[in-house]
Structure 1
Amino acid sequence: MKKILVPSLIALAVSSLASVAQAQTAPESTLSYNVGVVTDYRYRGISQSRLNPAVQGGVDYADKSGFYVGAWGSSIKWIKDAGASAGSVEIDLYGGYKGTAGDVAYDVGFLRYEYSGNKLAGVNGAVNANTNEVYGAATYGLFTAKYSHAISDLFGNANSKNSYYLDLSAALDLGEGYSLTPHVGRQTVKNTPSLSYNDFSLTLGKDLGNGLSASAAVVDTTADKTLTAFQTPAGKFTGKTGVVLGLKYSF
């Protein structure tokens, strides 16, 4: 009996420890929030806030299955700068799925850029600013490639459905809470090649602890500075080389 009982107890103990370890490492669903401020809201290299500061914030729910949904918002000025009487807030609504295939992590989803109450339609031949995109990203080691495809007109540009954006970046851990993220992107605008351009950035991040983080980024683009689409009402180039500072609190 002892020869049977002792191995059985050992097997039971090992099984119990394995179950505990599995429970500890199993992914869990999370709900998180973030608020922040930046000295300039740059999106794909172009200022959305007239080269001025912007207030931002968001909420994210990540299910342990890999599915996620979220919302993020920012103050903006580009719609009013284009001549519309309303449209000072951007709300991004998104959902998707994250998973892995071997050594590659992937992320696929849908993103809606909502500019509530915007009056861009009809201004200089423009259309409604609201935009829908689908996207897919793959990460291998330090490197991530992401492709975003517009399934509607893109940010108020008429006849621009099927425009796309390609994003290549790397995430470098410098230690002691510092990170460095080099990035290059290509925005292609369907049927209006003059609006297509490349953008570049190099972002230094610092984890300050307790959910607080800071960032400093150098941003540049090849956008055509002579086009009014890339100018503020005062004639400043919204895709110019610049430094963007940010502070964010996540909880």
Structure 2
Amino acid sequence: MSQLPKFSLLLLFATMTSVAGAQDAPTSVNGEVSASIGVVNKYIYRGGEENDDPAVQLGVEYAHNSGVFAGYWGSTLNYDPSDESQNHGFEHDFYIGYGRELNENWSYKSQLISYYYQDGGTIYSEDDLDERRTIGFELLNDVSYKNLTMGLGVMLADASYANAGDVYLSAAYNHPLPKDFSLNTSVGASIYNDSHDDQLLNTTESIAFNETRIGLSKTVAKKIDLSLDYIYGGEDREGSDLDDHVVVGATYNF
């Protein structure tokens, strides 16, 4: 079966399942719980391929009225970072943070996020002298003015895919369009720290543009978000070119 029919079946299944079990998000005087489930034809993160097959993604978050929030987000992968023999895996992201609206135009958000893959694990160099955990920790900070958001992420510990001190800079802008459409654009670049390089991670670029995105999204029935994005790939930390992608997705929010 080709990838397009596979994705169409996944999309149809996720939409039908979500609509059939739709309920309003639980609320209380102190905060609110929100959740989502969706599918994309491929999962691209900061220009890199995390899954070039259809991926199922889900998340849940509790936001307290004080500004404190905590949540989980996960996605299927077509690899396991600690086991090269596997062609499947799962990414688990756990986060906690604080954010507030300063006024009708300005807001900010800071969060600590842990990236946990499959069952965790460690990778080793060929001579077993170097080892790295697949678990990563990052501090993410966003400042928003109206529809423009500027982001800065800092890796806090070495991982199999990053060095402590790596910095990711991003800017995203969305513009509302008629008929519940939205124009979405973003750009991302990294400042890499090479002082922790070893046999497992090699850095040749101190600064690299990673990706640019432009796309459209539309809300259907107030809870289903459909999206189409074109991703122009840049380079990774080794100077390798990243591919361009077209990503189609559907997410049900409840």
Match of 1:11 in 2: none
Q: Is the 8 A contact 2:31 2:62 kept in 1?
A: yes
Residue identity opposite 1:88 in structure 2: G
User: What is the Cα deviation at residue 126 of structure 1?
Assistant: 5.7
Q: Is the 8 A contact 1:38 1:246 kept in 2?
A: yes
From 192, 202, 206, give the equivalent of 2:218.
Answer: 206
Q: Which amino acid aligns with 1:249?
A: Y
Per-residue deviation, 1:171: 1.5
After TM superposition, give the deviation of residue 226 of structure 1 in Å. 8.7
1:180 maps to a residue whose letter is: L
Q: Which runs of 4+ in 1 moved over 4 A?
A: 84-87, 123-126, 224-227
Task: Determine the structure 1 residue equivalent to 2:68.
Answer: 67
- Say if 1:134 and 1:148, in contact at 8 Å, map to a contact too: yes
- Identity across matched positions, percent: 25
Q: 108, 111, 116: which is aligned to 2:110?
A: 108
1:22-60 deviation per Cα after TM superposition (whole angstroms, max 9, x unaligned): xxxxx86211111110000011121101x2111110111
In structure 2, the residue matched to 1:145 is 150
Work out whether residues 83 and 120 of structure 1, in 8 Å CA contact, stay in contact via their aligned partners in 2: no
Aligned length in residues: 213
**Could you tell me which of 31, 42, 54 is aligned with 1:40?**
42
More helix by proportion, 1 or 2?
A: 1
**Structure 1, residues 67-118: CA drift from partner, whole Å, max 9, x if none?**
1111010011244597265971100001111113344200011111111424
Amino acid of the residue matched to residue 168 of structure 1?
A
Amino acid at match of 1:188: I
Quick check: 2:156–2:164 contact (8 Å CA) kept in 1?
yes
**Distance (whole Å) between structure 2 residues aligned to residue 146 and residue 167 of structure 1:** 5
Name stretches of at least 5 consecutive residues in structure 1 with no aligned partner. Answer: 1-26, 231-236
CA RMSD of aligned residues (A): 2.6
Q: With the length of structure 2 as denominator, give the TM-score of the two structures.
A: 0.75
Aligned to 2:17: none
Q: Structure 1: which amino acid aligns with 2:90?
A: V
Q: State the partner residue of 2:161.
A: 157
Cα distance in structure 2, aligned partners of 1:76 and 1:175: 35
Q: Label 1:118 to 1:46 Cα distance change in 2 as closer, same or farther (>3 A).
A: same
Rate the CA distance shift 1:69–1:201 in 2: closer, same or farther, 3 A.
same
Shift in Å, 1:182? 0.7
2:135 counterpart of 1:130: yes
- Could you tell me the TM-score, scaled by structure 1's length? 0.76
- The one-letter code sitting in structure 1 at the alignment partner of 2:234 is T
Whole-Å separation in 1 of the counterparts to 2:205 and 2:140: 24
In our comparison, the structure showing a higher alpha carbon Rg is 1
| Stretches of structure 2 lacking an aligned partner (at least 5 in a row) | 1-28, 195-202
Q: Which residue, 175, 179, 190 being the options, matches 2:178? A: 175
* Matched position secondary structure for 1:179: strand
1:148-202 residue CA offsets vs partner (Å, 9 max, x unmatched): 1000114x136x1111111101111012210111100012332024484421101
Q: Name the residue aligned to 1:219.
A: 231
